Chain A
């Protein structure tokens, strides 16, 4: 597989959110605004790239029966690094994403890529795979977050669009949990429609 294809597959063809439907917990939980989606996506991307890289480097050293605990320790370490660094240097965003950062550990996207890709490929391909998948995840989360923010509070990245009449903040349901399911459903339908056309 060429590296370009390897990189771009994460965006549409194998998009972790819209096509593979992996890592739904942060997808539904944090996407109340575009900024939260972007922050969560980038944090996950960092963990994906780093864990893919390390897993591909140590894969010859790990007996296959204990590979899962080994991968989990590697992933959990990077998540903790992200968590601590964000608490120290990105205080506001960390306060917003709160509980969801530690949950990147159990995001099946990260373990899934370590198991399905990084443990079988070389370091460079693994970084590219992690980057592509991570950015595809970020793209999906930002899109979903943006949609919910726009419909739910009439803003995008915190800037008011003045799309709703005076005195109405937006459709509250989109900020709440049910709105996440509704918006995600429609986005998946749209993506399916678009990718069928090109296929």
Chain B
């Protein structure tokens, strides 16, 4: 098949037409997938909230600036009837092995950890991504962070003199994880002492 000659006008038209078709197609695909993507994110967050606080029938969302760190944390206050059953705090750390880690931690009214869930991370598969089961194994009390009050224990890894055993071969991730919980806890407590709002 004869190729188009390499004239200025031919090149401009060819690239223009291809880009225009590509742009239209992508715009259409973006519109079509926007809903499902937002839905998937929302479902994931909802599932995580349900995991970290006791059964609830109403959620109140507030944004709070952390005691340290640039971006705000989100508090999901879970109510059953009129009673506050727990607060899920969406918190993060910058200390991850590769980028920011987002986790969600449920706290009781006086700051005990109910449960946690990992929302987003880029840690090494097979090492750092063990965060999820590692710190909630009831058979290994030295790893456990659930049902503990971060104000009463030293929430750092045992290598740094703390009370929590780090994930084998993933100390950096473990430090980051505890940093995220600590940020969430401190912010939660200072918010509590300021009258809860």
Contact = CB atoms under 8 A, between A and B. Distances in A.
B153 interface: no
Nearest to B12: A66
Contacts of B29: 80-81, 84-85
B19 A85 contact: no
B26 A63 contact: no
Given A32-B126, A62-B14, A66-B6, 7 more contacts: A33-B125, A61-B14, A63-B5, A66-B14, A98-B122, A172-B126, A175-B124
Q: How large is the interface on A (under 10, 10 to 19, 20 to 34, 35 or more residues)?
A: 20 to 34
Contacts of B7: 63
B197 interface: no
Given A63-B3, A65-B6, A73 B18 contact: yes
A175 B18 contact: no
B181 to A, nearest CB: 22
Nearest to B21: A77
Contacts of A176: 124, 126-127
A163 B2 CA distance: 60
Contacts of B125: 32-33, 96, 175
A159 B171 CA distance: 27
A64 B3 contact: yes
B33 interface: yes
A55 to B, nearest CB: 10
A64 B6 CA distance: 7
Given A91-B44, A172-B127, A66 B11 contact: yes
A3 to B, nearest CB: 20
B42 to A, nearest CB: 11
Contacts of A152: 126
Interface of B: 1-7, 10-11, 14-15, 17-19, 22, 25-26, 29-30, 33, 36-37, 40, 44, 120, 122, 124-127, 169
Contacts of A20: none
A60 B6 contact: no
A60 B4 CA distance: 6
Interface string A14-58: 000000000000000000110000000000000000000000001
Contacts of A80: 26, 29
B26 A172 contact: no
A63 B127 contact: no
Nearest to B23: A77
B4 A91 contact: no
Contact of A63 (B4, B33, B122, B126): B4
B2 A84 contact: no
Interface in A89-120: 89, 91, 95-96, 98-99
A156 interface: no
A75 to B, nearest CB: 10
Given A63-B4, A176-B124, A74 B18 contact: yes
Given A33-B125, A81-B29, A62 B36 contact: no
A34 to B, nearest CB: 13
A28 B41 CA distance: 29
A9 interface: no
B18 A63 contact: no
Contacts of B22: 73-74, 76-77
Nearest to B8: A63
B19 A73 contact: yes
Contacts of B26: 77, 80-81
